[in-house]
Amino acid sequence: MTSASTKGISILLVDDHPIVRQGYRRVLENQRDFQVVAEADDAVSAYGAFKTHVPDIVVMDISMPGASGLEAIRNIRARDGRARILVFSMHSEAPLVKAAFGAGAGGYVTKSSEPAVLVKAIRSVARGERAMSDDIAQVLALESLAPSGSALDQLAEREIEVLRQLAAGATQEEIALRLNLSLKTVQNYHYMIKAKTGLKTDAQLVRLAAECGLTGP
């Protein structure tokens, strides 16, 4: 990675909406020391762009077609444990936020935040610090004080990703292909998700995923 202090901050911008990327690219490049060196619209292209450009920071949406930002974070961090990733998402549900941090994200900012919040978070994560928008900090604080957490609290990050895929209508075979897993492994995850949540049917799992914000808007 380049030195953010001497050469500015190089950024990989990941979002599946071209117009959204264009808008935020303008916001970021208004900062003299920010340079968007690449863009990507899904988890696979994000991983490829990271390998090619090795940016100082990845600014990534978490909800994308195919494998989600969670999987992209996991893959990028597996390749480079020093990779710095800031999630920039419309979702603010505690289980998803915790899954993002569990996958290796260094920060989480919601898209409802002011541009200045995003800029500040990028600088913080680029320095190796953890950053959150105020609404995310509040969500996590309230969740930690709740007498009983979400049913998703028992699930590991990879199980949450499999649940998200199931809720989106993907078959076990499709999930195995997207996440580079064996079919047997996906079946095992499916079983463990039901066991941990106490749910019996896929319809119930879909309802849970929707209630916890794992599905699209």
What is the C-alpha to C-alpha distance for residues 167 and 98, in angstroms, rounded to an integer?
19
Region 192-201 average pLDDT:
87
- Asked whether residue 5 carries a pLDDT value surpassing 70, the answer given is no
Q: Is residue 76 part of a domain?
A: yes
For position 45, what pLDDT does the model report?
A: 94
Q: Does residue 90 belong to any structural domain of this protein?
A: yes
Any domain includes 44: yes
pLDDT of residue 96: 83
Q: pLDDT (tens digit, 9 = 90+) per residue, 10-52?
A: 999 999 999 999 999 999 999 999 999 999 999 899 999 999 9
Say if residue 49 is in the same domain as residue 125: yes
Same domain, 92 and 118: yes
pLDDT digits (tens, 9 = 90+) for 139-173: 888 776 655 556 777 788 888 889 988 988 999 99
Residue 217 lies in a domain: no
Same domain? 126 vs 163: no
Both 85 and 168 in a single domain?
A: no
Total domains in the fold of the chain:
2
Same domain flag for 126 and 162: no
Q: Of 103, 119, 144, which one is at a domain's C-terminal end?
A: 144
Same domain, 138 and 195: no
Q: What is the CATH number of the domain that holds 77?
A: 3.40.50.2300
Question: Residue 2 pLDDT > 60, yes or no?
Answer: no
Indicate whether 156 and 105 sit together in one domain.
Answer: no
**pLDDT for the residue numbered 69:** 87
User: 4 pLDDT exceeds 60?
Assistant: no
d(CA 66, CA 64): 6
Backbone phi, then psi, for 65, in 5-degree steps?
-60, 150
> Residues 81, 40: one domain?
yes
pLDDT at residue 149 in the model: 59
* Full-model pTM: 0.75
pLDDT of residue 15: 94
Residue 110 lies in a domain: yes
pLDDT (0 to 100) of residue 155: 83
Q: Could you tell me the residue range of the domain that residue 159 belongs to? A: 151-211
Confidence of residue 217 (pLDDT cuts 50, 70, 90): low
Asked if residue 216 is part of any domain, the answer here is: no
Per the CB < 8 A criterion, the answer to whether 58 and 46 are in contact is yes
Residues 25 and 40 in one domain: yes
Contacts of 197 (CB under 8 A, 6+ apart): 151, 152, 154, 155, 205, 208
Q: Are 50 and 79 in contact (CB under 8 A)?
A: yes
Confidence of residue 211 (pLDDT cuts 50, 70, 90): confident
Boundary residue ending a domain (144, 174, 189): 144
Residue 123 lies in a domain: yes
Looking at 144, 166, 183, the residue that finishes a domain is 144
Instruction: Judge contact between 183 and 173, C-beta under 8 A.
Output: yes
pLDDT per residue as tens digits for the range 82-136: 999 999 998 888 878 888 998 899 999 999 999 999 999 999 999 999 999 999 9
* pLDDT band, very low/low/confident/very high, at 81 (cuts 50, 70, 90): very high
Weakest-pLDDT range from 76-80, 191-195, 211-215 = 211-215
Are residues 77 and 172 located together in one domain of the fold? no
**CATH number for the domain that contains residue 175:** 1.10.10.10
Q: Verify that 41 and 76 share a domain, yes or no.
A: yes
Whether residue 131 is found in the same domain as residue 184: no
Query: Considering just the CA atoms, what is the radius of gyration of the chain in Å?
Result: 17
